[in-house]
Amino acid sequence: MTRDRTGVRAARQMVQAGQLLGVDFVALPARESAPPAISESSGAAQAPAACSKQALLDALRKRHDAQCPHCTAATAHSRTVFGEGNPDARLVFVGEAPGAEEDKTGRPFVGRAGQLLDKMITAMGLNREDVYIANVLKARPPNNATPTPAEVMNCAPYLAEQLRIIAPEAIVALGAPAAKFLLDTTEGISSLRGTWHACRLENLEIPVMPTFHPAYLLRNYTPDARGKVWSDLQMVMKRLNGEA
Ligand code: URA
C-alpha cells in the first residue's frame, strides 16, 4: 500500500473513530509513514516466534482448565473463557469476567459490551486480530456479580501468566476489577483513568491505561464518558506510535 493510501486509510479510521465513539475531535496522525502493524515487534531483541508464545498460551490454557482453584470449583458457568487474540500483540485489553454471550461461545467480549469494544479497537486503527483480549476471571460469575477478592486471588494469577507470556507494550484495563488487580490498588477507576500506571509482574513492568468498562459506557452513554474513554485510548495510540 502506498504512503498516500495509508494516509487516507488512517484519516478514514480517525473520522470513523469520532463517529463511532461520538466524539467530535478528529486528529490526523502527525507522522509521515504508516505505523508498524500492531503485531510487528518494535524492539531490537525479537520476541520468541508467534508459535512459541501460542504454544505457551495453549499449555497455560490446559493447565488453567485443569487446575484453576476458582474455575474448577465454580458452578455457574458452562465453559471457561481463556482469552484470545494475537500472542505477539503489542496491546492487551483486560476486562472483568465473561458474561452470558461469552459463556455460550467461550470467547471474550462478544456480547453488547464486546461490540462496543470492537468499535473502540477499530477507532484506534486496529483490528481485533491485532490485539489480545482477556479477563480477570475466566468463568462467568453467577448473575454477572462483580468478582470477589477470593475469586480474583484464585483465578487472576493465570491472567498474570498470560500477560508474562505475551509481554505487550501496553495494557488497557477495562473497568475497576481489571485496574485493581493489575495495579494492585483499591483506588477507583474514575481517579485511575487518564494516566499511565505500571503493572509489575516479576521482572516485567507493563504500562497500563485504565479506562471505563464498555458495559459502563453502554449504561452511561454520555458525551462526557465517551470523551474520557476516547481520550484514554488516544494516549494508548500515541504510546504505541512512539509519540508519548
Ligand atoms: N465483560 C467483560 O468484562 N468481559 C467479557 O468478556 C465480556 C463482558
69-116 pLDDT tens trace: 999 999 999 999 999 999 999 999 999 999 999 999 999 999 999 999
- Residue 94's H or E segment, with its range, is strand 91-95
Q: How many C-beta atoms lie closer than 10 Å to residue 115's C-beta?
A: 14
Question: How many angstroms does the Cα of residue 147 sit away from the middle of ligand 1?
Answer: 12
Is there a domain that residue 12 lies in?
Answer: no
Phi-psi region of 218 (alpha: psi -120 to 50; beta: other; left: phi over 0): alpha
Q: Is the CB of 176 under 6 A from ligand 1?
A: no
Lowest mean pLDDT among 9-23, 97-111, 167-181, 185-199: 9-23
- Ligand 1 centre to CA of 2 (Å) is 37
Least confident of 4-13, 32-41, 166-175: 32-41
Rounded CA separation 115/120 (Å): 9
**81 falls within a domain:** yes
Number of domains observed in the structure of the chain: 1
The pTM of the full predicted model, rounded to 2 decimals, is 0.83
- 13 located within any domain: no
Q: Which helix (H) or strand (E) holds 7?
A: helix 3-21
Cα-to-centroid distance, 117 and ligand 1 (Å): 10
CB 178 within 8 Å of CB 97: no
| Packing angle, helices 223-240 and 112-123, rounded to 10 | 50
135 CB within 6 A, ligand 1:
yes
Residue 219 in grid coordinates? 449504561
Is residue 10 in some structural domain?
Answer: no
Q: What is the CATH number of the domain that holds 156?
A: 3.40.470.10
DSSP string, 114-180: HHHHHHHHHHTT--GGGSEEEES-SSPPGGGPPPPHHHHHHHHHHHHHHHHHH--SEEEEESHHHHH
Residue 94: inside a domain: yes
Asked if residue 83 belongs to a domain, the reply is yes
Q: How far is the CA of 15 from the centre of ligand 1 (A)?
A: 27
Per the domain annotation, does 43 fall within a domain? no
The reply to whether 165 falls in a domain is yes
pLDDT at 7 over 80: no
- Full domain range(s) for residue 152: 50-240
Q: Which of 14-18, 112-116, 123-127, 219-223 has the lowest mean pLDDT?
A: 14-18
Nearest to 141 by CA among 94, 92, 80: 80
